Amino acid sequence: MAESFGFSTGSSVFEDRRGPVTCSACGCRLREEPGDVEARWFHFGPLGGRDARGCSVPCVEHAHKATGQSIAIALA
C-alpha cells in the first residue's frame, strides 16, 4: 500500500485553493481587501483613473468580485 502523505484522495481536495484574481475587463491582477461580508478585489495603485501599469480602464477604482467582474459594472 502506498503512503498517502496526509493528502485526501476525495474530490474536494482543492475546494479551498485559490489562484490570483484578475480583472475580467483588462486582465490586470487584483489585490484582495477583506470586507465585512466577503472579500473584494481592487486594482493595484489606482491613481488618476489608471492602474499600476498606467492603463486607463473604466473599472480601475471599482471593487471587483472573486470572478474578476467589477461590482459597479455588474450592478448596472
Domain locations in the chain as residue ranges: 20-76
pLDDT at 72: 77
pLDDT at 12: 46
pLDDT at 51: 77
pLDDT digits (tens, 9 = 90+) for 9-63: 554 444 445 678 888 888 888 999 887 777 899 988 767 777 777 878 888 889 9
Q: How far apart are CA 71 and CA 52, in angstroms?
A: 20
pLDDT at 36: 76
CA distance readout (Å), 34 to 8, 38, 39, 49, 50: 29, 7, 4, 22, 23
